């Protein structure tokens, strides 16, 4: 089933528009500056909840990436291109990176040289990061934050479309990263309640929770 779905997405359900779109979705170099700007703006101009969200997000991302790296090494699952020939799509190099969006993506099939050039397949680093962001935004901003799951779903599809991961990689990573994030945020919430009550009682009176508004 895993291979059948992979071949449908990677080989049959393809077109020129999807080649560019999915490669753009999956290219972190393009989106990192934008995400950094948004996070900095939230820290500088946002209120308590925005700052708390960013702090929880950063801690969750750091811890989740460490877990991802450890599990990749321990599980050592091969990527699709490491065990068979797959269709691969990449944006060409450009500086600044966003200029690659205006160039034709490079489409090729993997060869022998690709079998030893990548880290293990599970968990997916891309999916880990995007799931962490989606969970944090949903916890702090409810339905509005849950809209980020659209981007997470596109990322999941793009990783299979580009030949980087098996479908089971991205699905398994979502559940893994979601569980990690919920545990981290719950721990940070407990730390806040203990530390703020003890050392910042005035702030704690108005903000007894990192996520919930005082009016709620």
**How far apart (Å, rounded) are the C-alpha atoms in residues 118 and 131?**
22
What is the per-residue pLDDT for 216? 44
What is the per-residue pLDDT for 201? 87
pLDDT in tens, 33-64: 888 999 999 999 988 999 999 999 999 999 99
pLDDT in tens, 66-114: 999 999 999 999 999 998 999 999 888 878 777 778 888 989 998 887 7
What is the per-residue pLDDT for 112? 81
As given in the structure block, the two tokens for residue 148 are: 């980020």
Residue 87 phi/psi, 5° resolution? -80, 125
Q: Specify whether the CB–CB gap between 80 and 165 falls below 8 A.
A: yes
**Span 137-147, average pLDDT:** 94
pLDDT in tens, 170-200: 999 999 999 999 999 999 999 999 998 889 8
For the chain, percent helix, then strand, then coil, each to nearest 5?
75, 5, 25
What is the per-residue pLDDT for 214? 52
Return left, alpha or beta for 88; rule: phi > 0 is left, psi -120 to 50 is alpha, else beta: beta
CA distance to 73, 128, 173, 175, 203, per residue, from 120 (Å)? 7, 14, 13, 18, 45
**How far apart (Å, rounded) are the C-alpha atoms in residues 104 and 92?**
7
As given in the structure block, the two tokens for residue 171 are: 């699905």
**How far apart (Å, rounded) are the C-alpha atoms in residues 178 and 128?**
8
Query: CA geometry: angle at 78 spanning 75 and 82, to 5°?
Result: 160
Q: Specify whether the CB–CB gap between 86 and 107 falls below 8 A.
A: no
As given in the structure block, the two tokens for residue 89 are: 């799509």
Name all domains of the chain by residue range, CATH numbers in brackets.
2-177 (1.20.144)
**Span 3-24, average pLDDT:** 94
């Amino acid at each position: 089933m895993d291979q059948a779905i992979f071949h449908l997405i990677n080989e049959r359900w393809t077109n020129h528009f999807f080649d560019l779109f999915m490669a753009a979705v999956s290219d972190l170099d393009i989106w990192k500056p934008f995400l950094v700007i948004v996070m900095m703006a939230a820290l500088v101009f946002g209120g308590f909840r925005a700052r708390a969200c960013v702090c929880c997000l950063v801690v969750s991302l750091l811890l989740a990436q460490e877990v991802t790296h450890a599990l990749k090494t321990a599980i050592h699952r091969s990527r699709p291109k490491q065990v068979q020939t797959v269709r691969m799509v990449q944006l060409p190099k450009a500086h600044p990176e966003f200029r690659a969006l205006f160039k034709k993506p490079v489409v090729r099939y993997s060869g022998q040289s690709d079998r030893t050039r990548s880290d293990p397949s599970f968990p997916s680093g891309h999916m880990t990061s995007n799931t962490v962001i989606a969970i944090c935004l949903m916890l702090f901003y409810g339905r509005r934050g849950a809209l980020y799951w659209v981007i997470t779903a596109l990322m999941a599809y793009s990783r299979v479309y580009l030949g980087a991961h098996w479908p089971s990689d991205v699905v398994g990573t979502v559940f893994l990263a979601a569980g990690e994030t919920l545990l981290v945020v719950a721990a940070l919430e407990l730390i806040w309640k203990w530390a703020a009550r003890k050392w910042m009682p005035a702030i704690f009176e108005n903000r007894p929770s990192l996520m919930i508004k005082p009016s709620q």
